[in-house]
Structures are given as structure tokens and as C-alpha cells.
Amino acid sequence: MKASLYMTTNMHSDTVPLLQNGQPHACSQTPPVPGPRAAQPSSVGSKPLLPPPPSPKLLQQAPPRPPKPQQPPAPAPSLKPLLPPPAPILRPLQPLPPVPQSLPPPLPPSLPQPMLPPPPPPPPQPQLQVPAQAQGQVPAQAQAQQPPPVSPRQWVQRSQPVQINPVRRLLEEDQQFRTSSLPAIPNPFPELGRTVSPPVLPPGSLLVSQRPIKQDLKIFTEDGTGKVVEILTDMTARDLCQLLVHRSHCVDDNSWTIVEHHPQLGLERCLEDHEVVVQVESTMANEGKFLFRKNYGKYEFFKNPMTFFPDQMVTWCQQSNGGQTQILQNFLNVNSCPEIQGYLYVKDLGRKSWKRMYVCLRRSGLYFSTKGISKEPRHLQLLADLEDSTVFYVISGKKLYGAPTDYGLCIKPNKVRNDPKELRLLCAEDEHGRSCWMTAFRLLKYGMLLYQNYCVPVERKTALSPFSTPVRSVSENSLVAMDFSGQTGRVINNPAEAQSAAVEEAHAWRKRSARINMLGSQSPLHPCTLSTVIHRTQHWFHGRITREESHRIIRQQGLVDGLFLLRDSQSNPKAFVLTLCHHQKIKNFQILPYEEEGQIFFTLDEGNTRFSDLIQLVDFYQLNKGVLPCRLKHHCIRVAL
């Protein structure tokens, strides 16, 4: 009967002692006996009977179950399989279950995730012992709520969705809360979290050292011919001029410029030396082009600033009685504010009418007065802003825009390409006034940068330049003066004797050329002498052009004193014309042939000074003023690239 007090349960495979009232005893739980499942009775699904529990006295007197000698005790299961592997933490195996309301607050990412404590291992001995839960005074209700023991593999798989996924869901919610409340911080480990697109950096945020890119650019000359030149994208106008001068074998006298020309709008201007050519080309229209020409008046103000502007045209905000240096400082200093004022013809936007207005040029822009010559703030209105605009010369202003004079200026916004309605057109009364206004616009727009462009060529005169410095050969350096008047030649060591020999040789060459000129041409229909054609090889001779064309060339290359050219006369086929600029006015002087003793000479003063050819005439007036208002200093030139 004592043996009948024990019943075997199929759910836990354990032998549980029962008391009289049907409740299990706290200290009488028998540990499970390991062994094959075949030895256990198969009563799955049957409801176990609960007889009245025995008294503690009977439990102590009941003999224990004898151990099976045939089956050795199984070793205690290791705790390693019971620990959840770390890999499945980041890889969900099942859909996320709903988060219970009674979960603890989320843990920080740095703390380990909570894990369910493993069930107590069974003791190796089958004797009746007191388990560890009983020693800790675990109540009976806690023992009844414990899940049935299963194999380690099944326990890990069944515990993952319950223990890991809710914590991960809480961590994700916490991460979303932090992302929305805290400033954005780049994730240093994007491979451990969600896939986030990499941040897009704005262009220019990373400075990568790259070589300048080469680009083809077409340059035109005065005769209309063009040539494609390969340049760098960061090449300035000064560098491009030096490159073209070197390739065309010209003399680099720091007067070459690149001209931005718009034939459809009738506008042109000289690029400043610091401007990048490729950037200027990007703002031009399709029909716009670059010209390669000279401009002697580009920095004329810095050469003679005291007499450049008329006295009534400039108003100083401070005393400028110091001299040339003080005037330059007033114009180049940002704090000083020289004002340029005067009358200009202004064309209304979108209309064909012109009005004569009193305008005032300041650093903030160009203003016109609504009441006479008053410059009070209430009477001044803004006419044009120079910040995002460029000033051009107007070509053929009377024909294109109906201007009252041919001395026009244009303030063109940089955003405008082909629309003439957006152009602010101005017109001066004479060429000197237009030159003063253009210089004032450039000074107020560029300031000190313009003066630095002027000083660079002056400072580089002493330095060697690969484009402008002529390189003498070894044979030229080894030349010496020789005298071949006798039977044998000798070396002339005396410098004075060598100079007199050179003068005598030049005089003999002049005599030989005069005898050749007297012989004339072999063709009776086309008589021609060397003196009448030798000047055609010179750059300053421009052939058969009109007076208007010669004046246009003079204006394009700068209205400076001494700028000249020679051309054929239209009224007298045997005569020539010297076109000269003096005080920004263009004058014409006729060169007539003079015959004496059967020899033809050329003269400017009715035969008082005679020359055998035009080359001698130009050489003489480059050294002497004579009957001219000034000496010949600069000649207009046209080159072919």
C-alpha cells in the first residue's frame, strides 16, 4: 500500500509524492531519473489521479526506489547549449509578437540583453535529495508555473521569439525616439543596423587636386581670320595674350589684349588681365567671339592721372592736392569716394527715345538727378547697378540704337545675352568724355586689382620672360666688326672706328638703293620703283582703306598721343596719308611726292624735309616732332595668327 502512494506522471516524467489533501509537499519532490523514454509508461493524454497525500511520517518510512544498475547515471547537461547564440539576435526568425504592457523599460544599447535563466540541472544521483529551489524557499506556486523541461535545442528555438524580439522592438523604438529628438549623427557601423543611403556631399565639399582641363578656343584677328588655340581652363587673359604673341612672333610691349565682341548687339570691351577667359566665354552668346588686338590706352590713366579727368568732372570727398600719388590713392581706396558727374544721353529701357540727364557715378551705382544738377538724396534715382554688370563700348550706335552721337557706352547685366531691351545705353558728347567715363567705371568696379594689373608688366621688365625676352644665338654673340677695304680683312678693335664704319656702310647702301630707284620698273605699263613699294612690308602701313576705317582702327587700339598709321590717299593716287592721334583727337596729314633732279622724294612740309622712302620719313618723325603736333610713338598693327 505504501507503494501505491506514488504515481507516475507522463507530463514531467517525474515521480511526485502526494499528500492527503492533494497538494504536493514542498520538500518531497523527487528529482527526475534519467533514462530512455521507452522504460516510462505511455499514458500521454490521460488525466493523472491525485490520491490523498501521505503524512510526512509515511514518507520517511517508505523505502527508496532501488537504482537500476544496468544504466549508468547520465552526465549533467551542459549550460552552453542553453545560452542563446548571439548571431540570431540581429536576424529575426519569426514575426514580431505584440509588446506586452508589463515589460520593463528598454535597456541602453551598451547593456547586455536580458535572458531567461536556464532550468536547474538534474543531479547525477537518483537518491532523494533536496533541490536548490527548495533550499532557497521557493513557493509551491512558482514551481507549478515553471515550463516543463525540454531538450536544449527546443528550448533555444522556443525562447527566441519571446525573449529577443520584444527587446529588439523596444530598442528600435528607443533608437527612433533618439533620432527624432537628438541631432543627426552619422552611423559609424552602417553594416550592423538598417540599410541607410550614404549622405550626398555637395559639389566642392571635398577639395581634390586635379590638373586643369584643356579646352579649344577660337581667336579672331582684325582681318577676320581665326585660329583655334588649345588653352587651359584657368588661363587668364594676360597669359593668353603672351601665348599668342609668342606664336605670332610679335613684340610683347604689354599692350596686347583679348577683346570680347558681340556683333549682333554692337558691343565690345577689352578683357581685364586677371579675368579667366573660359569663364567669360560661358556668359557669351553663340555669335560672340574673341579678338586679338592692341590697346595702348588700357592703362593710360595710371601714366598721367593728374590731367586725365577734367576738373569739373570729379568731386573729391577729401583733399586731393597732394599730387599724382594722392589722386591714385583716392581712386583706389575703398574708404574714399570720388564722384564722377556730368551730362550723358540716356536711352529709356524698351524705347527709342534719348534724354540728356545729369548723372552721378558712385561706388554704389550710377544715379541720375531729377532736378537739374542737384545731388541731394531725394533727387537722385538709381539708373544702373555695377555689381552684376559689365561696361561695353557701343559700335555703330547711330545705326543700331539711334544714338545722338557715335560715342556710346552700354551697361550690360551679366544675365543678358541677346536681349537689347535689357541694356542700359549711354552716350557721351565726344570721344574724350567717353574715355573718361569708361575709365571711371573700371576704377570703381575693380579698384586696386586694376592697379595691380598695371604694375605687373612694369615689375617684370627686369625679370626674364620666356615669351618676350629675345634669345641671342652663340654665333651672334661671337660677331666682330671687320674692315674689308684693303686687300686683306682686319678686325676693328676700336669701338669708335667700328661705329663710323657702320655709318659709312649705311650711306653706301642708301646710294645703291637710289640708283636702283632711278632705273625704274622693267614694265612700261606698270612703272614701279623700290621706294614706292618698300613701305608695304611694314606693320604701320594699312594700304587702301577709307578715312572712317582708319579712325575706327585708331579708336579701337586706344586714343593715346602718338598713335598713328599710314594709308593710301583716296584723293591723290600718288600720295599717302598719315593718320595721327593727339589729345584724343584724330588728325590726318597728307604725304606728297616731291621730284628733284629726276629723283622722287616724300615730304610732309612742302619739300623742306625730304625723304627717299616712307621708312625714312617714319624713322625721322619718331625721333623729331617737326611739323606734327607730337612725335610718332605707337603704330597700329594687324597680325595674322
pLDDT at 4: 42
Of the ranges 73-82, 326-335, 617-626, which one carries the lowest mean pLDDT score? 73-82
Q: Is the pLDDT of residue 220 over 50?
A: yes
Helices (H) and strands (E) in the chain, counts: 15, 23
Q: Is the pLDDT of residue 356 over 80?
A: yes
Whether 292 and 315 share a structural domain: no
Whether 265 and 332 share a structural domain: no
pLDDT tens for each residue of 234-262: 999 999 999 999 888 888 888 899 999 99
275 falls within a domain: yes
Whether 425 and 572 share a structural domain: no
Q: Helices 431-446 and 448-459 meet at what angle, rounded to 10?
A: 100
The amino acid occupying position 444 is L
Whether 292 and 336 share a structural domain: no
Whether 438 and 375 share a structural domain: yes
Whether 263 and 327 share a structural domain: no
Q: Is the pLDDT of residue 10 over 50?
A: no
Whether 258 and 338 share a structural domain: no
The set of residues, in sequence order, having a beta carbon less than 8 Å from that of 17 and lying 6+ positions away, is 5, 6, 24, 25, 28, 29, 30, 53, 54, 59
Q: Is the pLDDT of residue 277 over 80?
A: yes
163 falls within a domain: no
Whether 541 and 600 share a structural domain: yes
511 falls within a domain: no
| CB atoms near residue 287 (< 10 Å) | 12
Q: Which of 458, 476, 511 is the last residue of a domain?
A: 458
91 falls within a domain: no
Q: Is the pLDDT of residue 14 over 60?
A: no
CA distances from 75 to 25, 35, 62, 68, 488 (A): 27, 11, 28, 16, 130
pLDDT band with cut points at 50, 70 and 90 for residue 405: very high
316 falls within a domain: yes
Q: Which of 229, 263, 298 is the last residue of a domain?
A: 298
Higher pLDDT, 517 or 599: 599
Nearest to 383 by CA among 352, 404, 362: 362
Q: Say if CB 628 and CB 579 are below 8 A apart.
A: no
Nearest to 302 by CA among 254, 374, 239, 356: 254
Across 608-626, average pLDDT: 92
Higher pLDDT, 234 or 17: 234
Q: Which ranges of 106-253 would DSSP assign to H, the alpha helix?
A: 132-135, 140-145, 152-181, 237-248
pLDDT at 324: 67
84 falls within a domain: no
Half-sphere exposure (Cβ direction) of 100: Cα atoms closer than 13 Å: 7
Q: Which of 458, 493, 511 is the last residue of a domain?
A: 458
- Average pLDDT in the chain: 73
387 falls within a domain: yes
pLDDT tens for each residue of 22-66: 444 444 444 444 444 444 444 444 444 455 555 544 444 445 565
357 falls within a domain: yes
CA distances from 622 to 300, 344, 562, 578 (A): 20, 37, 9, 13
> What distance in Å separates the CA atoms of residue 478 and residue 411, rounded to the nearest whole number?
58
> What distance in Å separates the CA atoms of residue 199 and residue 201, rounded to the nearest whole number?
6
Residue-range definition of the domain harbouring residue 16: 1-35+48-65
Q: Total domain count for the chain?
A: 4
b/e per residue, 229-245, with b = 16+ CB within 10 A?
bebbeebbbbbbbbbbb
**pTM for the model:** 0.58
Whether 280 and 395 share a structural domain: no
Whether 385 and 289 share a structural domain: no
pLDDT at 364: 86
Whether 269 and 358 share a structural domain: no
Whether 454 and 587 share a structural domain: no
